[in-house]
């Protein structure tokens, strides 16, 4: 099955479907990622705060897949926003992953209430990683419209992606619209709302029509809307299920119907980026 690709604003491309490693325990990460690669995933998403970059790197090294066919993303730890810290942390990420160049590196959270509200200098630091060739692309995660507007206005550098919470119960339209307005592609984390949408009767009815699961229909809904998704599962059968979403298509009415399940802020499963201030000890 061929995974569709999305063209980014810097003339690179990204697989629209990837494999997420959030909450995959480090001791199980190498085997889990190896299984995902066997299933067919070529886009792997990790982060410094997931504490499993080293093990993702082990799986990549053990694979016989050419580096040119792999797409690897990681994200900056919330404790390392100051430029010198970000530089050092980024080098550690490359070392742990065993890469000379990462495909995509993101500011994980804007943290507007910390670091004197300065996430602009952090963004400038990430931009330098592309300039010196250590990253193919850089982007942001959990950036609200005002955060995006600010970094673009103050640096002139537009992120390649904005990785934000998006699912049928929280379509996050303001952040999606701001991203699209700037030419930033949207990556949807928590694409099935941590499983909350899987029992939704509307999604279930559409799934029955196509002989698909609720998860497959939800992921296909993201694809139809142009989102980049990276579901996580540690079970091979679920990995295979989530991968099998490119052999059917939803109608425009079905896409709109699923979008109509949006609950606004009541549907959000994660923290609000305007107030989130967690820094690992």
Residues near 247 by beta carbon (within 8 Å), at least 6 away in sequence: 1
The pair of structure tokens assigned to 15 is 């697989």
The three state secondary structure string of 55-95 is HHHHHHHHCCCCHHHCEEEEEECHHHCCHHHHHHHHHHHHH
Rounded to 5°, the CA angle 195-201-202 comes to 100
Q: Kindly tell me the sign of the dihedral angle through the C-alpha atoms of 157, 161, 163, 167.
A: positive
Question: What is the distance between the alpha carbons of residues 191 and 18, in angstroms, rounded to a whole number?
Answer: 12
Of 41, 50, 80, 169, the active-site residue reads: 50
Catalytic annotation present for 50:
yes
Bridge partners of 155, per DSSP, are none
| Angle (nearest 5°) at CA 48 between 274 and 3 | 90
The sign of the torsion formed by the CA atoms of 271, 273, 274, 279 equals positive
Catalytic residues, by residue number, are 50
């Amino acid at each position: 099955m061929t995974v569709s690709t999305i063209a980014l604003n810097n003339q690179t491309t990204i697989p629209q479907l990837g494999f997420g490693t959030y909450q995959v325990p480090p001791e199980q990460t190498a085997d889990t990622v190896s299984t995902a690669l066997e299933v067919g995933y070529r886009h792997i998403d990790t982060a410094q705060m997931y504490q499993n970059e080293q093990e993702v790197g082990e799986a990549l090294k053990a694979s016989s897949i050419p580096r040119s066919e792999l797409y690897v993303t990681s994200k900056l730890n919330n404790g390392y926003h100051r430029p010198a810290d970000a530089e050092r942390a980024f080098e550690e990420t490359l070392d742990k992953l065993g890469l000379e160049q990462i495909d995509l590196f993101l500011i994980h959270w804007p943290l507007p209430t910390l670091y004197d509200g300065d996430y602009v200098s952090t963004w400038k630091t990430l931009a330098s990683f592309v300039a010196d060739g250590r990253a193919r692309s850089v982007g942001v995660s959990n950036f609200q419209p005002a955060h995006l507007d600010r970094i673009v206005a103050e640096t002139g550098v537009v992120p390649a992606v904005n990785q934000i919470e998006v699912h049928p119960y929280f379509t996050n339209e303001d952040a999606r619209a701001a991203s699209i307005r700037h030419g930033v592609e949207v990556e949807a984390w928590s694409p099935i709302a941590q499983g909350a949408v899987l029992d939704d009767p509307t999604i279930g009815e559409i799934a029955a029509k196509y002989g698909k699961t609720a998860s497959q229909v939800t992921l296909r809904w993201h694809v139809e809307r142009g989102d980049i998704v990276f579901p996580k599962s540690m079970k091979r059968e679920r990995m295979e299920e989530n991968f099998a979403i490119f052999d059917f298509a939803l109608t425009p009415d079905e896409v709109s119907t699923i979008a109509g399940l949006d609950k606004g802020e009541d549907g959000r499963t994660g923290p609000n980026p305007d107030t989130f201030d967690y820094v690992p000890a």
